[in-house]
Amino acid sequence: MDQGRLSIVIDGIVQGVFFRISAKQKAEELGIVGYAENLPDGKVKIMAEGNKDSLHQFLGWCHKGSSFARVSHVSFHWEKVRGNINEFSIR
């Protein structure tokens, strides 16, 4: 399996709308580990590690998010896999 690591920042109405909890559920469904955290500027940052096919699916989900979210922009970049995370958490 080809593994990858994505750093993702989601902008829009993404805080207070269950975005991080929904991201955790989607990540666990896809076998992705990492974390989601609110940023002071109202964005959500996600660090996700796992199979690249699953990461592509997860990234697609991030463009929509939870049912109450209104995503306006998603930026991301690939990073070197670290392998030091064993679950998906909310920070």
Active site residues: 20, 38
CB atoms under 10 Å from CB of 83, counted, come to 10
Cite the DSSP H helix spans in the chain.
19-30, 52-62
Give the residue ranges of DSSP H helices in 1-81.
19-30, 52-62
